[in-house]
Every structure is written in structure tokens, then in C-alpha cells.
Amino acid sequence: MYYLLRGLSVTDLGLSTATLPQLLAHLASGYPAIPAARCLAQLFFFYAFGVTDTLVIAVMALDRYVAICDPLHYALVMNHKVCAHLLALSWVVSILHTMLHVGLVLPLGWVGDAGSHVSLPHFFCDHRPLLRASCSDIHSNELAIFLEGGFLMLGPCALIVLSYARIGATILRLPSAAGRCQAVSTCGSHLTMVCFLYGTIIWVYFQPPSQNSQNKDMVAAVMYTAITPLANPFVYSLRNKDVKGALHRLLRQKSVNS
């Protein structure tokens, strides 16, 4: 589990690094412009880290399934070598997916103003705003999102649903209420992030273009570029007994001082 958490931390850090520093630079300079090459590079890294994040979350569902449904063989099944292979596979799939969609963006054209600046109503170079600002035919891009992107989402979603279906059946067969509560607590943090991350992605990328709006894209982008990477360490750390104990001691100390 902790090996996968380290992989998730790396992808979360990369996801934030791909977007937030450029945003802060724009806010500091008051000149929100970015060269085309840097915009495409930002899109590539954002896509690569973002897709890897969703795949690692799906792999963690498999980890939870083994931990609860087959705890005696957990150390054998989910050893470091297996986790490393799963993380490497997630990166390979993510990079191939990213190369496809960024490659489909490259031939598109945009109409700028007199200074050849293209207005992009977003705080970074995201896929949907770029397609919306293009003056070219984007049917192939939309088709790739719904077909290839949908297929890529279907696999992890199916893995998560099947894993939690088996986990739920196993929890219901546990004889003690304490055991059921402990199992639910083990999966609760992961399930929270699954709903948050996957729900946001489906909300943005897998709706018809007519139902998408700039405000919706902006709100969702803040959620999965800033809030989700920030929330992940807190959500998963609160499962650790040492972290819980330190937090309780800190709260008691503050209450005594007040």
C-alpha cells in the first residue's frame, strides 16, 4: 500500500507542478500569456500525470481488494516487484494516451487577435478549452475523447467496481461488527478519492460539447489540479495510527492552552 502511495504522491506532485507554477507566474507578472510550445508541453505533462493518477487510484483498489479478501497472501501478491510493474504499466499507458491526444491537437488551427494572441479562457492549457478555442474541425478530437478516452476510463472503473463489489461481499460475511468497521475504515479514504477524482473527470470530459461551459471547466480544473493533490496526503495519512495519535495530542494541547 505504501509503495503505491509513494507513486500516487509523485503523480500528484507532477500534476500540481505542471499547472500551478505557471499560474503563479501569470498572477505575479499580470501578463497571462504563454508561448505555443510551452502550452503544448504543459498540456502533455498535465495529461500524462493526470491519467497516471487515475490509473494508480485504480491499482490501489486492487490493493485494497487483496488486503481485505485475501489478507494472508497480501505480502506475497502485492509485493514491491508487482507494485513496481503495475506503476510502470500505468505510466506506459498514460504516455501513449497522452501522445495520441496531444498529437491530434498539433494540426489544429487557432485565430488570434492582431498580435497573434489566442484567447484561452482558462488558467492553464487544458484539452477542452483548447478545442473550444480552435477554428479547425475537432470532430476527430471529440471522437478520440469519447472512444479511446472512454475505453481507457472503462477499464479502471470496471476494476474499481469489481474490487469493491468483492470487498463489500467479504465485509458482509465478517462475523464481528468491529471487523466490519475496520474494513470499511480501510477502504473509506480510497473510495472518497475515487468518487472525487473520477466524478470530476467524467463531469468535464465525457459530456456532449453543448453541455460544457467555461465556468464548469474552470471549477473542475481547480478541483483536480489543486484540491485533489492537496487532499490525498491528508485523507490517506489519517488512516495511520501514529498520525491520528499525533493529531489527537495536538488538539488536546491546544484545548488545554486555550
Tens digit of each residue's pLDDT (9 = 90 or more) over 184-216 = 777 777 787 888 788 777 777 776 655 556 666
Least confidently predicted of 69-73, 137-141, 173-177: 173-177
Say what the pLDDT of residue 122 is.
76
68: closest CA among 179, 177, 162, 155?
179
pLDDT value of position 87? 93
Tens of pLDDT, residue by residue over 156-170, are: 888 888 988 898 888
Return the percentage of the chain with pLDDT > 90, whole number.
12
Local confidence band at 114 (pLDDT 50, 70, 90 cut-offs) = very low
Q: From residue 182, how far is each of 47, 91, 173, 174, 235 by CA, in Å?
A: 35, 32, 14, 11, 16
Contact call for residues 163 and 65 (beta carbons, < 8 A): yes
Structural domain that includes position 208: 2-257
148 contacts 205 by C-beta, under 8 angstroms: no
Per residue in 29-69, pLDDT (tens digit) is 777 778 888 888 999 998 899 899 889 999 988 988 888 88
Question: How many structural domains does the chain have?
Answer: 1
The mean per-residue pLDDT over the stretch 58-84 comes to: 88
Query: What single letter denotes the amino acid at residue 68?
Result: I
pLDDT band at 176; cut points 50, 70, 90: confident
Phi, psi angle pair for 134, to nearest 5°: -75, 150
Mean pLDDT of the chain, nearest integer: 81
54-48-197 Cα angle (round to 5): 25
Q: What is the pLDDT of residue 45?
A: 93
The percentage of residues in the chain with a pLDDT greater than 70, rounded to a whole number, is: 86
| 53-91 as b/e: b if 16+ CB within 10 A | bbbbbbbbbbbbbbbbbeeeeeeeebeeebbeebbeebb
Residue with cell 504522491: 9
More confident residue, 229 or 84: 84
CATH number at residue 98: 1.20.1070.10
pLDDT of residue 209: 58
pLDDT surpassing 80 at residue 238: no
In this prediction the pTM is 0.82
Query: Are 216 and 203 contacting, i.e. CB atoms less than 8 angstroms apart?
Result: yes
Amino acid 132: pLDDT: 81
Query: Average pLDDT for residues 219-236, to the nearest whole number?
Result: 74
43 contacts 127 by C-beta, under 8 angstroms:
yes
Grid-cell match 477502504, residue found: 187
In angstroms, the CA 125 to CA 26 distance is 13
Least reliable range by pLDDT among 115-119, 152-156, 218-222: 115-119
